[in-house]
Copies of this chain bind each other. A is one copy, B any other.
Amino acid sequence: MDKLKEECGVFGAYSINNNNVNNYIYMGLMSLQHRGQESAGIAICDTSGPLGNICHHKDMGLVNEVFDQEILENLSGNLGVGHVRYSTSGASNAVNAQPLVMKYYKGTLAMAHNGNIINADNLKHELEKEGSIFHTTTDSEVIACLLAKNRTKVSCVEEAIQIVASQIIGGYALIITSPRKLIGVRDPLGLKPLCLGKKDDCYFLSSESCAIKSIGGEFIRDIEPGEIITITKDSINSDYSLVSEKRAHCIFEYIYFSRLDSVIDGISVYDARINGGRALAKSYPVEADLVTGVPDSGLAAAIGYSKESDIPFSLVFHKNTYVGRTFIQPTQEERETAVKTKLSILDAAVKGKRIVLIDDSIVRGTTIASLIKHLKEAGAKEVHVRISSPPFLYPCYYGTDVPSSSELIAHKYTTDEIRKHIGADSLGYMKIEDFDQMTGDLPLCKACFCNDYPL
């Protein structure tokens, strides 16, 4: 479909009493799958065994394609980290899959990384000048190299991480298993989410709280932007030396990336979307017979719009969940058929109706145009489109995969031109000033809407 793409999800687990964490990581990744469908991997070790004995498995594909019962059982240990990936930096292939497992001066280390390092190329060039070699094209390997370099100069891995974190610029959440420690790092602006949880004797670090919840764990808190958290058998330590006052949380975590049942930096994604829908209803009221959302990301905002406007919510699309990544695109037919195969109109619900249709964003505009066309063909009298984000105008340098400006419909047309182009009877984009209705006083990165980059 016609959507922005998040880069990655990360999940780490450490059982203090040496219980096996492989199932926790597997299930955690299942619940972070929406953050990346390109590759998946798990690296795991046994802290009671010989130092540095990490086993890992990673490959292209979804979590349940990459892992089967046998593979998972062979990944046994009480400390591990997992990763799901959609690539932005680094080409799409198996060698770039994460976690990255490497041997270095102080043993073996596994690392999973979500985000983008703006100055990765410069750092890589410096390292190459000193004789480093690189096997992948990922930012993660650059971080690993820096870590290994600096580890030789300091007395513990946390110190090395602190030095590296002060060198890298960008949005990132990192989980590292150094032989007997589970370490999490979050970028100082808080662009990428990372949180801490617990179940029995086991600690978790996760991109989102939903993964902790799905395995029956308890959410403890978000990792603070700039915090380096180190979990050992005996203690949990936090290093705040990189914490600064400036914050810039990514608004798209609330609008689209994160799962509806996650709570990110104290704000429920569900509430944020409901309130986003309410804000749209206040800013762009319209007389209509029903409100609906484009499945699945527009549904919560549609409920919010319905609550605020008292226009009843209704189902209007049937989503065929069997149409997956490997669906063979029809060659002799136009693109619209593919949309129809994935999202089918419930004619009986639509005929003669004035519809408010909520979606989270418009990137190229092709999908929404198809849907409106099909709704009208099915007898919809009016289709009023409400978008729960402002027009998307500028690229993201922090890890979100955005089409080039020339492909962004909002970059080329005015809102009214877009309305005409997609065939809507009215069109309203969320106002930037209404973000506080979604996320309160949370400091946000709004660079993609207003070209105001925090870094």
Contact = CB atoms under 8 A, between A and B. Distances in A.
Interface of A: 20, 23, 26-27, 30-31, 33-34, 37, 62-65, 67-69, 72, 101-105, 128-135, 137, 144-145, 148-152, 210, 213-216, 259-261, 263, 268, 270-271, 274, 296, 299-300, 303, 306-307, 312-315, 318, 320-324, 326-328, 330-333, 337, 340-341, 344-349
A339 to B, nearest CB: 10
A346 B31 contact: no
A20 to B, nearest CB: 8
28 contacts: A23-B332, A23-B333, A27-B330, A27-B341, A30-B322, A30-B341, A31-B341, A34-B322, A62-B322, A64-B326, A64-B328, A65-B326, A68-B328, A101-B135, A103-B133, A104-B128, A105-B128, A105-B129, A130-B152, A131-B145, A131-B150, A133-B145, A210-B344, A260-B318, A261-B344, A261-B345, A300-B315, A306-B312
Contacts of A132: 104, 132, 148
Contacts of A314: 303
Given A26-B328, A135-B135, A327-B30, A348 B270 contact: yes
Nearest to A69: B328
A184 B11 CA distance: 45
A269 B324 CA distance: 24
A316 to B, nearest CB: 10
A312 B148 CA distance: 57
A105 B131 contact: yes
A307 to B, nearest CB: 7
Contacts of A102: 133-135
A344 B33 CA distance: 14
Contacts of A128: 103-105, 148, 152
A263 B332 CA distance: 27
Nearest to A106: B128
A225 B68 CA distance: 45
A72 to B, nearest CB: 6
Contact of A261 (B133, B322, B347): B347
Nearest to A344: B261
Contacts of A130: 149, 152
B134 A103 contact: yes
B271 A337 contact: no
Contacts of A63: 322
Which residue, of A337, A345, A348, has the highest number of chain B Cβ atoms within 10 A? A348
Contact of A337 (B62, B101, B216, B306): B216
Contact of A327 (B64, B148, B214, B315): B64
Given A271-B348, A299-B315, A322-B34, A337 B215 contact: yes
Contacts of A215: 333, 337, 340-341
Contacts of A260: 315, 318, 346
A328 B103 CA distance: 31
A357 B213 CA distance: 22
B129 A270 contact: no
A36 to B, nearest CB: 11
A75 to B, nearest CB: 12
A103 B127 CA distance: 11
Contacts of A150: 131
Contacts of A37: 322
A332 B27 CA distance: 12
A62 to B, nearest CB: 6
A67 B133 contact: no
Contacts of A330: 23, 27
A151 B131 contact: yes
Nearest to A317: B261
Nearest to A130: B152
A229 to B, nearest CB: 23
Nearest to A29: B322
A101 B104 CA distance: 19
A67 B103 contact: no
